[in-house]
Amino acid sequence: MTRALRSRRARFPRVIATGVAASLLAIARGATAAAGDADAPALESPPSAVPQPARGATDRWLSVAALGGFTLPDPSLADYQWQIAPHGGWGAEALAGVGRLAGGMRVWTSATRQEIGAPGAPATTRVSTTSWELVGRATVARVREVAVVATASAGRIRLAYSPDRVTLASGGGPVEVVFAPLDEWVGGAGLVFQKPFGRRWRAALQLEHRIFALDTAHRAGAVIVEERSNFGDWSARVALARHTHW
């Protein structure tokens, strides 16, 4: 009995040692695997799960555009011997925008002719209209890739003549008539239809109506009536713009 007891007591340490060794081996293997997992790069989230910034509301951009097109004068200017057929024009525009809103400056120039109808004078004089305007824009809708933009403008317009003076014959001798340039305020509103071409370029069709006032004089019977009259014009422009995001 004593020996048997001693024999069992002798085997208990071996069993315990064997169990502890197995446990330590399992722990070591688990630690090695955990260390390997820690060193491995983390799995990236699929692109669809990565949150994207709301670029439409915070996108900041600059734009410089060349303009070309036609201007149709107010039909009532025909009463003052203006040629009111559509005539060509050109200009440039610079805008800065944040999301759907933008503002900037535009210069636009066009020209028509006015009949003089006086003996000894040229038949017509060239009338050029040049405007410098502040422009505001807001994108109101999108149809596929085309943005529909409401626009408003305000600034100064100059009417200049060439030749700006003529000499008329009269019973008392030659009389020189000077056509002084006119500077007036002008304001307008319209729509722009704009389509992107790549990330850097935009093509657009601009349609705008503007209003300005001029001091006029006309004959009513035997009386010369002087008054301030409102006139307007319609413009259709094609714009090619270079965009820069910042």
Write the pLDDT tens digit of every residue in 68-88: 999 999 999 998 889 999 999
pLDDT at position 1: 37
The full set of domain ranges for the chain reads 1-38, 55-245
Which pLDDT does position 240 carry in this prediction?
Answer: 97
Cβ-proximal residues to 2 (8 Å cutoff; 6+ apart), any chain? none
DSSP 44: P
Spell out, as residue ranges, where the chain has pLDDT lower than 50.
1-28, 31-35, 37-54
Options 1.10.357.10, 2.40.160.20, 3.40.50.300, 3.90.320.10; CATH of 55-245: 2.40.160.20
Task: Write out the two tokens for 221.
Answer: 């019977």
> What pLDDT does residue 29 have?
54
Q: What b/e readout covers 95-113, taking b as 16+ CB neighbours within 10 angstroms?
A: bebeeeebebebebbbbbe
Q: Which of 101, 88, 87, 93 is nearest to 64 (CA)?
A: 93
State the pLDDT at residue 138: 97
Report pLDDT digits (tens) over 138-182: 999 999 999 999 999 999 999 999 988 887 777 777 778 888 899
pTM metric for this prediction:
0.71
- DSSP state, residue 195: E
Answer whether 130's CB lies under 8 Å from 160's CB: yes
User: Could you write out the DSSP letters of every residue in 152-190?
Assistant: EEEEEEEEEEES-EEEE--TTS-EEEE---EEEEEEEEE
Instruction: Return all residues near 49 (Cβ < 8 A) that are at least 6 apart.
Output: none
pLDDT of residue 143: 93
Dihedral Cα 174, 178, 179, 180, nearest 10 deg: -170
Find the angle CA(200)-CA(204)-CA(205) to the nearest 5 degrees. Answer: 175
Q: Which region, left, alpha or beta, applies to residue 170 given φ > 0 means left and ψ of -120 to 50 means alpha?
A: beta
Residue 174: predicted pLDDT: 77
CA distance 40 to 38: 6
Structure-token pair, residue 72: 């149709």
**Predicted local confidence at residue 116, as pLDDT:** 81
